[in-house]
Structure 1
Amino acid sequence: MLQFARKKWLPLAALTLTMAAPLASVAAEQKSVAVTAIVEHPALDAVRDGVRDALAQAGYESGKNLKWQYQSAQGNTGTAAQIARKFIGDQPDVIVAIGTPSAQAVVAGSKRIPLAFSAVTDPVEAQLVKSWEASGTNVTGVSDLLALDKQMELVKQIVPDATRIGMVYNPGEANSVVVVKQLKELLPSLGMTLVEAAAPRSVDVGSAARSLVGKVDAIYTSTDNNVVSAYESLVKVGNDARIPLIASDTDSVKRGAIAAIGVNYRDLGVQTGRIVVRILEGEKPGDITPETSQNLQLFVNQAAAQKQGVTLSQALLDAAAEVIQ
């Protein structure tokens, strides 16, 4: 009996060792991705979800072979810096920073941990990278940069006689400062002028919009995170004063803007996620050229147009990827 027990124990031990080997291999292959966003709103949430989708498509699943962390700074740059320090201390394989302030906070804290930014209008102006070429550093990512001439063409289609264009923005957000600068250079050539209204915090958006009443023919909104996170307060002013709102964020059309030509932010997130996968699989972020999205869509909102005193042309409706009634 003793000999039989010893013979049975030996193969069981071998089996245990065989089973332990793949478990150790899975643990060794586990990757970690930490995602931070400056604020939560539909566009940035779509970026986050798109990143996660791309990771899942590549076989990286949270709870299996991927450690996934996500934190929002709730629009506070101080909180963004705290999140950046926390994530840097965790030493993940990649940090994904959604929005310029979050990306700037990570860059300020680490020159080593790979960073993939997303939904950053101008990463050069924001000092994340030195140029649009591969950076040679720990930073790469995807921009949501839009051609402002096309944006203003849309404004003219909706409000043909518009000459005074209002813009509510956060003067502390590099994305928005860049857009304001470019509009000041572009608009005079189109016979238009820019009227600015500062909203340093999300709670300032409504009052900033009210300051434009009687001074502008239309309001254009960029992807300013303060403005987008409080878009309903801007819409109320537009509806009450019958000032047409034209956006660059298609999700804002669903929330009450008349129209927008903008990127699909879920697709932007997937595009960012594919860069993250490349980094997880061994590429250096400094060897990956920053990208932009070419997948632009036109959204229009007929109900918003009526409330804001505008009749949309049939040609514009026919060109739209989505018409909200």
Structure 2
Amino acid sequence: MGSGFSAFCSVLPRPSFAVRCAIWATSRARTSFTTLATREARTVGRGLVVNVSHPGGNITGVTELSTELTAKRLQLFKDLVPRLKRVAVIWNLEDLAMSLRFQEAEAAAPRLGLSIMRLPVHDIVDFDAVFTALKRDPPDGVFVVSDRITAQREPALIELLRAQRIPSAFEFPPSARAGGLISYGPSIEELAPRAAAFVDRILKGAKPGDLPLEAPVRWHLIVNRRTATAIGVEIPASILARADEVIE
């Protein structure tokens, strides 16, 4: 993406805004290119910003904190399905942010008594091999790191996991509503207006590096009882009490 993306940046009018996916490239492309991180996580740990309250440089916006939430998502998954021992993690290996989430899952697993089954994908076509692996050697559960690649095969994946009676955990509300067993994360729809507010402030003269990165104000725990019944999982009362939404 390096030189090609830099060339792309050079023809854009100022101010220009990149939304999430190219944050790593745009941070190096040129300092006048404003990167609006509407869903990015771990920008500090990756050396992209100085700190959360004063990012510096050309990056600001709303972070979804997905990397930081990975351990909690796995904990909730384990609380919902206590028999979990081996969890398959599906993630896009080509995206650094997604790989950071996988690494967080791998680091958290031993503390939760879990082992990780690696199922990386590079492109949509790799899901054929993922589906084969899930049928040949079924894990106790599947955790999906959500991005544009995994989203495209999500309906087929949910259908397969339901047929194989494998519990699934996702990062965002739409996935649980679509048939995943559980999801925990912010509503992307709630982040969009806040991102628009950043654009407005920057267009009015604010420097991106002076605008603190913001985190979501709410995280939604969603459990799909219909899926739980279909795959033979009994939802603990403790999870039902904490759930923001239960799909009947």
- For normalisation by structure 1, the TM-score amounts to 0.68
Shift of 1:315: 4.1
Deviates more, 1:302-311 or 1:239-248: 302-311
Q: Please point out which of 296, 306, 310 is paired with 2:219.
A: 296
Contact 2:18 2:26 in 1 (8 A): no
Shift of 1:272: 1.7
Counterpart residue number, 1:252: 175
Shift of 1:130: 4.7
Q: How does 1:122-141 map to 2 (within 5 A)?
A: 122-141=42-61
Q: Please point out which of 169, 183, 188 is paired with 2:105.
A: 183
Q: How does 1:39-118 map to 2 (within 5 A)?
A: 85-86=7-8, 88-99=10-21, 102-118=22-38
Counterpart residue number, 2:132: 210
Shift of 1:85: 4.9
Which segments of 5 or more consecutive residues in structure 2 lack a partner in the other structure? none
Counterpart residue number, 2:147: 224
The superposition leaves residues 221-259 of structure 1 with CA deviations (integer Å, 9 ceiling, x where unpaired) of: 123331123211211221121110111111111222111
RMSD over equivalenced CA pairs, Å:
2.5
The superposition leaves residues 165-207 of structure 1 with CA deviations (integer Å, 9 ceiling, x where unpaired) of: 1101111111221112122221111211111101111232353
Distance 1:235 1:157 in 2: 20
Within the alignment, does 1:144 sit opposite 2:49 as a pair?
Answer: no
The amino acid of 1:153's aligned partner reads Q
Contact 2:36 2:61 in 1 (8 A): yes
Q: Please point out which of 76, 79, 83 is paired with 1:161.
A: 83
Q: Greater CA radius of gyration, 1 or 2?
A: 1
Shift of 1:320: 2.4
Structure 1: which 4+ aligned runs deviate by more than 6 Å? 79-84
Q: What is the number of equivalent residue pairs in this alignment?
A: 245
Shift of 1:164: 0.7
Contact 1:197 1:209 in 2 (8 A): no
Distance 2:70 2:183 in 1: 12
Contact 2:71 2:104 in 1 (8 A): no
Contact 1:134 1:287 in 2 (8 A): yes
The amino acid of 2:26's aligned partner reads V
Distance 2:30 2:220 in 1: 36
Contact 2:36 2:60 in 1 (8 A): yes
Compared CA separation, residues 88 and 249, structure 1 to 2 (3 A):
farther
> Once the two structures are aligned, what percentage of the paired residues are identical?
22
Distance 2:164 2:133 in 1: 11
Distance 2:53 2:241 in 1: 38
The superposition leaves residues 117-143 of structure 1 with CA deviations (integer Å, 9 ceiling, x where unpaired) of: 211122235553354352321211221
The superposition leaves residues 53-112 of structure 1 with CA deviations (integer Å, 9 ceiling, x where unpaired) of: xxxxxxxxxxxxxxxxxxxxxxxxxx998688546513142404133xx22343343321
Compared CA separation, residues 80 and 98, structure 1 to 2 (3 A):
farther
The amino acid of 2:24's aligned partner reads Q
